[in-house]
Chains A and B, each alone.
Chain A
Amino acid sequence: MIPSTFQLIYFFPLFVLGQVLIFSNFNLLYSIDPQVYLLYLLFLPITINQMGLLLIGFFMGICIDLLLDLPAINTIATITILLVRPVIINMFYKKSQNKLIAENRIVKLHRNIGVIISFIVLHQLIYFLLEFSMFKNFVGFLKNFVLTSLISFLFIWTLIGFKIYSNDK
Chain B
Amino acid sequence: MGRLILFFTRFRNLFLYLFLLSLSLIYAFQSSNPLSNSLTQFSLIAIAPIHHSANAVYGYFGLKKNNDSLLTEIRELKEFKMNHQGSMKVLASDSLRIDRNRYQLYDANIIYSTRNFDINFFIIDKGKNDGIRPEMGVIHHDGVLGITKDVSSNYSRVISILHKDIGISIRNQQTRDVGIMRWSMITPTKMEISDFQKSKEVSLNDTIVTSGISSFFPASILLGRISKIDSVSDPIYYQLEVELFEDPFSQRWAHIVEDLIKIEIDSLFLSI
- Pick the contact of B117: A17, A58, A65, A132 (CB < 8 A): A132
What is the minimal beta-carbon distance from B216 to any residue of chain A, in angstroms?
Answer: 21
Closest residue of chain A to B119 (Cβ to Cβ) is A71
* With contact pairs A50-B13, A79-B21, A83-B17 given, residues A72 and B121 touching in the complex (Cβ less than 8 Å): no
Are A25 and B58 closer than 8 Å at their CB atoms?
yes
Are A62 and B27 closer than 8 Å at their CB atoms?
yes
The binding surface of chain A is classed by DSSP as helix
Are A51 and B24 closer than 8 Å at their CB atoms?
no
Verify if A27 is at the interface (C-beta below 8 Å from B): yes
Are A76 and B117 closer than 8 Å at their CB atoms?
no
**Residue numbers in B under 8 Å from A136 (CB-CB):** 185
Are A54 and B117 closer than 8 Å at their CB atoms?
no
Per the 8 Å Cβ criterion, residues 1-51 of B in contact with A are 12-14, 16-17, 20-21, 23-25, 27-29, 31-32, 43, 46-47, 50-51
State A144–B29 Cα separation when bound (angstroms): 23
Are A70 and B50 closer than 8 Å at their CB atoms?
no
Verify if B54 is at the interface (C-beta below 8 Å from A): yes
A interface residues, tally (CB under 8 Å): 36
State A67–B114 Cα separation when bound (angstroms): 10
**Residue numbers in B under 8 Å from A30 (CB-CB):** 115, 187-188, 249
Sorting the interface of chain B by its residue count into under 10, 10 to 19, 20 to 34 or 35 or more gives 35 or more
Verify if B116 is at the interface (C-beta below 8 Å from A): yes
State A137–B190 Cα separation when bound (angstroms): 13
Are A137 and B117 closer than 8 Å at their CB atoms?
yes
What is the minimal beta-carbon distance from A60 to any residue of chain B, in angstroms?
Answer: 12
What is the minimal beta-carbon distance from B226 to any residue of chain A, in angstroms?
Answer: 21
| Interface residue ranges, A against B (CB under 8 Å) | 17, 20-21, 25, 27, 30-31, 50-51, 54-55, 58, 61-62, 65-73, 75-76, 79-80, 83, 131-132, 134, 136-137, 140-141, 144
| Interface residue ranges, B against A (CB under 8 Å) | 12-14, 16-17, 20-21, 23-25, 27-29, 31-32, 43, 46-47, 50-51, 54, 58, 112, 114-119, 121, 123, 157, 164, 185-188, 249
Given contacts A58-B24, A131-B116, 11 further A-B contacts (CB under 8 A): A25-B58, A30-B188, A50-B13, A66-B46, A71-B32, A72-B28, A131-B117, A131-B118, A134-B118, A137-B117, A140-B186
Nearest 3 A/B pairs, CB to CB: A71-B28, A72-B28, A72-B24
**What are 21 inter-chain pairs, A to B, with CB distance below 8 A?**
A21-B54, A50-B13, A54-B17, A61-B24, A62-B24, A62-B27, A66-B43, A67-B46, A69-B43, A69-B121, A70-B114, A70-B116, A71-B28, A71-B29, A72-B31, A75-B24, A79-B17, A80-B21, A131-B116, A137-B185, A141-B117
